[in-house]
Amino acid sequence: MNKEFTIVIEQDEDCIYIASVPELEGCHTQAKTLDELKERIKEAIELYLEVESDLIDEVPLEFVGIQKVEVAV
């Protein structure tokens, strides 16, 4: 069975890519390249679901989207 997950990719000040899965709380990884990041996040998702096997059929959150919000600082 295959499931599809949305990932959010950011880049830190050291040019390291960071990926997280909004539907799976605490599921994230990092890498120096986008290709490496893609492989690592797939592995992180598989490991997450292995440990949390009850979530395979029922993901607790559904990803809706990302928006920017402006605030005064």
26-40 residue pLDDT tens: 999 999 999 999 999
Please indicate, yes or no, whether the overall pTM of this predicted structure exceeds 0.85.
no
The H or E element containing residue 29 is: strand 28-31
Query: In CATH, what number is assigned to the domain containing residue 42?
Result: 3.30.160.250
Residue 40 is predicted with a pLDDT of 97
Domain total for the chain?
1
Q: Which pLDDT band, with edges at 50, 70 and 90, does 64 fall under? A: confident
Nearest Cα to Cα of residue 31 among 42, 43, 48, 15: 15
Q: Given a cut of 60, is residue 7 above it in pLDDT?
A: yes
Which residue range(s) make up the domain with 51? 1-73
What share of the chain has pLDDT > 90, as a percent? 53
